[in-house]
Each structure stands twice: as C-alpha cells, then as structure tokens.
Structure 1
Amino acid sequence: MTAHDSALGTSLREWRQRRRLSQLDLAAEAEISSRHLSFIETGRTAPSRAMVLRIADTLDLPLRERNALLLAAGFAPDHGERSLDDPALDAARAAVERIIDCHMPFPALAVDRCWNLLHANPAVLRLLDGAADHLLGAGLNVLRLSLHPEGLAPRIVNLAQWKAHLLHRLGQQLRASADPRLDLLLQELRSYPAPASERPPSASDFVSPLVLETPAGRLSLLSTTTIFGTANDVTLSEITIESFFPVNEASAAILRSLGSGAQPG
C-alpha cells in the first residue's frame, strides 16, 4: 500500500460516512462493484483518475473537495483556483459587481465560502453604523458581523430566529464540504448570546426575514442567494451573492430615502 492509497482510502471512507452511505449503497450509485470499492478504501487497488471522478460525482463533492480527493489518489487537481483579482476572472468579477451594484437602493453583497466579504453596495454599508471597528475593515466576516454582540445583533429584532436561520445554513455548508474553517466559525457563532432557543427553520416557515432597527426606522428584509451555476474554478464556485428585498413598502421607502440621502416620510 502506498501513501496515496492510504490517504485516498481514508478520505473516501470519511466522505462515504458523512453522506451516510454504506459501501454497497455507494457502489450501487456509482455503478461499480462493492468489492472494487472496498479494495479502493483499504488501499488494495489504485483507482484510475476517471474512477476517482466518478466516485466524487456520486458523493456530490464540491470542487475544492474533488481536487483534494484527486490529490489523495496521486493525480493533479481537476479544477483551477485563481484569486478573484486574476485577469482570467475579470468577466466573472464584473458580473458579480454589476449584480450587486444594480441592486441599489436595496442591500446586496458577495461572500466567499467562509462568508468573508468580497463586495457590497452602499446600501449594505449604510446599515453597519454602530458596529465595532474590529468587526469591520479587512477580513470582514458577514456572519460574525451579523451575530456578534458588538455587531448588528443588538439591532436585529428577531435575533433568535435570524441566528437559527444563519446557523442552519452554515451547518448545511459544513455537512456538504466538511471544511474545518466552517466548523470553527460555526462553533464561534453558537457561542454568541441570543434570546430564546435556536429553533431551526421548519417547513411551516414561509421564509426567515431579517428585521433590523435603523436610525431611519425598522427594516424587514427577505434574502435571495445567487451562485455561479457552471463554475469550473474553485474560487468562482464558492462565491455567493446575497440580495435583500424589502418585505413591505415602509422598508422600501426607508431604503430609497437612505439611497437618496433624504429622510423617509
């Protein structure tokens, strides 16, 4: 058994268990024999690159994790990972910025996998007044800013509900990717105080709004999520655009007035 065989077998077994699949289940879905899969997991056989990719597809691994599985098997990564300021990503970056900027006067922002801010329009920035300086600036994490006692949390009217919503989303991301950075962030956010219990969203909930007090009045906002549907670059595949829409006309009027610099009527 080589080091690659051992690393691949361990990684594959961990992913199979995270997906709650038996060897027989995974083999059936990947259309391979359970004996062959068992040999791969125990390092008794070295799979081809095509076989590793077939298993990764069956496990529905994100691009970053597909690359890691290929590396564990001794193959080169299948997907590039460029910095967002790489000229090769100019068109994609411009698309992200255009979506966000054109959403004015309503808030919109883009984050990476770990919810670090990549781009935001002025409507978002106007809602951050009063947040502690250490939560702003370079390395701004949107979830930390939202739920930290020195961030937006004191002004979120439905803090327990909003915290439960964000923790639920982050938990889903963690289960999909097993990224240790998300695990650390989830533990940190769970430690922040919040009233009442953290009830995860249920099927009876139409949507989880953000209700935020501002100097101009109370805002009720719904959020939508946009991702690149055909991304072949790791960086692009992990970008999420969050766009907020007013629930009612009063919230819309406040946001329009903030955008124009006028006082809401």
Structure 2
Amino acid sequence: MTATRMPATFGVALRTWRQRRRLSQLDLAIRADVSARHVSFIETGRSAPSRAMVLRLADVLDVPPRERNHLLIAAGLAPVYPERRLDDPELAAVRDGVQRVLSAYEPYPCVAVDRCWNILGANAATAVLLDGVAPGLLEQPNALRLTLHPDGMAPRIKNLGQWRHHLIGRLRREVTASGSDELAALLSEAESYPGPSVESADPATVLVPLELCTADGELLTFISTVTTFGTALDPTAAELSIEAFLPADEVTAATLVCRSASQGSPQ
C-alpha cells in the first residue's frame, strides 16, 4: 500500500484537512478548545504544534490513522501508529478475524478489501461473481475494477447503470473523506469505463440491489453489507472492510445453497 502524498509543511496540511471538512479556523478552534489565533499561527508556521495538539486537531478533523502519521511527520514529530502489512505477525488476530467472517458468510459471496478496494481475501462462494471475468483482472484483483471494467462483471450486471452510480458515488465520498491520491486515481479510472450511470428510478428505494446474470443465464439478486473494525487503531486494520453479498430473494438464496452443496463448500 502506497502512502497518501501530503503537503510538505504541517500548516499547509492542517489547512487542507480543515478545508476538506469545510470548517473555518474559528470552527476548528472552538471544537479543539483552543484560540482561533493559535490555529492561525499554526497554519502560517508561526507556531509549532506539540504532539498532543497535532493529535487533538486530527481527532476533531476525523483524520484517519495513516494520515495522522503524515501530519505528525509534517510537524517534525515521530508517527504514533505502526504501519504494517496484513501478513505481519502482529496482525494475526486481525487475519483470523477476517477469515472467520469470510467463512461465516458461506454460501454467500464475501470479500475483504483494503482502502483502495484491493481484494485481500475472499470465500469460495465469491466464484459466482467472477464467472467470465478476464484472467488479467484476477492477477491483482481490485473490487471496483472487477465490477465495472468491461472485461469484468459489468457485461453481466443487469442494472449496470444503477450499480455503477452507486459504486462511483461511494468512491467519490471516500476520496473526499480521505484525500487519498490513490483513491482519486481509482475514481478517475472507474469514471473512464464505458457504461451508463443512473440513479434509482424510485426515490423510495430502500437498498440498491446488484442484479447479476450468471454464466448459465440465471439472474441472481444481491444486497451488500459492509463490516469494519470499529475499534482499530492500526492503519491497516482500520482501513479493512468486509463486504458480503446477501441474497435479496428466495431464488438467489436457493441457487447459492445448491451451488455450495454441489461444490462441497461449508454452509
């Protein structure tokens, strides 16, 4: 995972995050219980923030752990959140937890992704989603690319315009919240893929379904749920999400159970 590029000075970085959260210097000062003058001095470089001040401002601005490290470094301070890969021994409990969740969702598809939508794990039932996907897309699988790329799932998604609008809107919000250059590049790539983008025809719609035709011509309808580690402090764990695709009707549920039974997968 490549670190998000941040401005060179803490003052510029702080102003960037403040503006991203649409707060004035006075708003930030009130929420952080400091003077607006002090916030101004920090942004202009006239005052150097302490570690406690950096973390307090980051907390108010809801800055993710990885980016908090970048803020600390920009302020000339050591980072406080360890940045490790998921295969690090220290994250064994996280890996085990992810695997348990993936297995528990069988016979329904479930994937674990990092903040850039790269797939880090998947259960056996996910194969139903990947029927017909070009092998090249599976070498370094990215959930967004697998879904919307014309060589991926896109040709088999019956409501592609609706699902595309849903995914790109979700990614746009993540770009705004995180300021990640990687996510911004992924958004630009996704928007370049051919395909319609339409909102739900019914504003009273409760959930956006995924309507997917299998290689055998069956129509499966899913609703998705996303799970995260709510108490994670490690950047890698905090950025993990687990997305499950649950059957939206009895036909889909029965089909998935039958497929699982025929393949000998656990239920």
Range class of TM-score, shorter chain: over 0.9
- Over 3 Å counting, the alpha-carbon distance change for 1:27 and 1:225 in structure 2 is same
Root mean square deviation, CA, Å: 1.7
Partner residue of 1:48 out of 47, 50, 55: 50
Q: Post-superposition shift, 1:204? A: 3.1
> For residue 129 of structure 2, what is the aligned residue in structure 1?
127
Give 1:201-212 correspondences, 5 Å limit.
Answer: 204-212=204-212
Aligned with 1:188: secondary structure?
Answer: helix
Give 1:1-265 correspondences, 5 Å limit.
Answer: 7-137=9-139, 139-195=140-196, 197-199=197-199, 204-214=204-214, 215=216, 217-261=218-262
Q: Post-superposition shift, 1:199? A: 3.1
Q: Post-superposition shift, 1:203? A: 6.5
Q: Identity over aligned residues, as a percent?
A: 54
Checking the alignment, whether the CA contact within 8 Å between 1:226 and 1:240 is kept in structure 2 is yes
Aligned with 1:113: secondary structure?
Answer: coil
Matched pairs, number: 256
Aligned with 1:36: secondary structure?
Answer: helix
Q: What CA deviation, in whole Å up to 9, does each residue of 1:72-116 have, x standing for no partner? A: 111111211111111111111011011101211000010000000
Q: Post-superposition shift, 1:126? A: 3.1
Structure 2 unmatched runs, 5+:
1-6
> For residue 3 of structure 2, what is the aligned residue in structure 1?
none
* Cα distance in structure 1, aligned partners of 2:14 and 2:198: 33
Kindly provide the amino acid, as one letter, of the partner of residue 154 in structure 2: A
Kindly provide the amino acid, as one letter, of the partner of residue 179 in structure 1: S
- Over 3 Å counting, the alpha-carbon distance change for 1:106 and 1:216 in structure 2 is farther
* Cα distance in structure 1, aligned partners of 2:125 and 2:147: 15
* Cα distance in structure 1, aligned partners of 2:202 and 2:20: 23
Kindly provide the amino acid, as one letter, of the partner of residue 175 in structure 1: T
Q: Post-superposition shift, 1:205? A: 3.0
Aligned with 1:140: secondary structure?
Answer: coil
Kindly provide the amino acid, as one letter, of the partner of residue 158 in structure 1: N
Q: Post-superposition shift, 1:198? A: 3.7
Q: What CA deviation, in whole Å up to 9, does each residue of 1:239-261 have, x standing for no partner? A: 00001110111000111111112
* Cα distance in structure 2, aligned partners of 1:47 and 1:191: 42
